[in-house]
Amino acid sequence: MKRTRYSHERVAGCYEALARIYSRGRIGAAKASQIEEMRAGDRVLYAGVGGGEDALLAARRGVRLSAVDLSPAMLRALRRRLDGEGLAGELIVGDVLEHRAEEPYDLVAANFFLNVFAEEVMLRVLAHLASQVRPGGKLLVADFAPPGQGSTSVCTSARTPARTSAWVHALYYRPVNLAAWALRLCALHPIYDYVPAAARLGLSLRRRRRFRLGRSGPELYESLVFERPALP
């Protein structure tokens, strides 16, 4: 299959700052919410890690960190962050579809990464990542939340996710998707609902948390925790 490569090399210096402004910190909050799933000593892979503000939190928690990204500049930024705190991490420059560790991971995180790809490729990447989670391990995904509430999801957050209307999502998401596509940073596509795709791969949804823009704004981001069934 012919595949466009979307590296964020040119925006490595400003990507996280722009994401923070655009989301009023909610992108960072969605990623940070996953850290409680991790225990010291866990083997954790961050796919499409970028500058790795989330991977840094994981390393602080004492996980054995691996991270893969196409962009050397992104990984240099993460290396500087880790070095600054005397933390270790295996950082791999390359295509995630070509990365496979000898042993599966306890956790694999794909944050604001799957949404880079056109749907067909996204499904391949998702399957590839799921296959690298050990039985009983977890796949973590933080990303834009699809409008409304996916009927296949299980919500264990304190309150039921609001039915944020499709037009709010379209107004918020479409222009940025269009701009990123024009800069060749990602494919043009609607917001993905990863829950049905993960279910088809045999992953069960353990937690779905939504994040509002502002105190009472629409729930535009989410953090998903999927589990791969343990062996009988």
Ligand X SMILES: C[S@@+](CC[C@H](N)C(=O)[O-])C[C@H]1O[C@@H](n2cnc3c(N)ncnc32)[C@H](O)[C@@H]1O
- Interface residues with ligand X (CB under 6 A) are 6-8, 16, 31, 48-50, 68-71, 74, 95-96, 111-113, 116
What are the angstrom distances between the C-alpha of 127 and each of 108, 184, 199, 226?
A: 12, 24, 11, 13
Half-sphere exposure of 62 (CA within 13 A, CB side): 4
Distance between first and last Cα of the chain: 36
For ligand X, the closer of residues 113 and 192 by Cβ is 113
Q: What residue is closest to ligand X based on CB?
A: 50
Reference 35, options 68, 69, 64, 63; nearest CA is 63
* Shortest Å distance, C-beta 203 to ligand X: 19
For ligand X, the closer of residues 61 and 128 by Cβ is 128
* Shortest Å distance, C-beta 225 to ligand X: 16
d(CA 24, CA 212): 10
* Shortest Å distance, C-beta 126 to ligand X: 12
* Shortest Å distance, C-beta 159 to ligand X: 25
d(CA 82, CA 77): 9
For ligand X, the closer of residues 113 and 173 by Cβ is 113
Helices (H), the chain: 15-23, 26-32, 53-60, 72-84, 119-130, 166-182, 194-200
Amino acid at 98: E
* Shortest Å distance, C-beta 160 to ligand X: 26
For ligand X, the closer of residues 113 and 198 by Cβ is 113
For ligand X, the closer of residues 69 and 222 by Cβ is 69
Q: What token pair was written down for 106? A: 């306890």
For ligand X, the closer of residues 184 and 200 by Cβ is 184
* Shortest Å distance, C-beta 224 to ligand X: 14
Residues 6+ apart with CB under 8 A from 54: 28, 31, 32, 34, 35, 46, 109, 111, 142
